Copies of this chain bind each other. A is one copy, B any other.
């Protein structure tokens, strides 16, 4: 999948998907020089195995409920909760309910 290259002044819809969530997939919203912004979609019970990236991250739950496990500690996020992660910190995600989340990643050049 080609990641759209961000244009300055670009406006993006990050509202809950609601009824469309069950048929949705994770999508890269844009990538710029310094940032990548992804809408993560995880249906109930699905997971992302532990992984890490060099840059700092925020994970903002848009809808549903996810459990983000960071170095063995579980953090449950509902809609409107945001988690900050330092770079290179291993984290895994499990959807406790079908969920979408905005993931903002600082890119290291």
Contact = CB atoms under 8 A, between A and B. Distances in A.
A3 interface: no
Sorting the interface of chain A by its residue count into under 10, 10 to 19, 20 to 34 or 35 or more gives 35 or more
B81 A56 contact: no
Interface of A: 6-16, 29-30, 32-35, 37, 55-56, 58, 60, 70-71, 73, 75, 77, 79-87, 89, 102, 104, 106
Nearest to A9: B70
Chain A residues touching B, majority SS: strand
B81 A8 contact: no
A86 B15 contact: no
A10 to B, nearest CB: 5
A79 B13 CA distance: 9
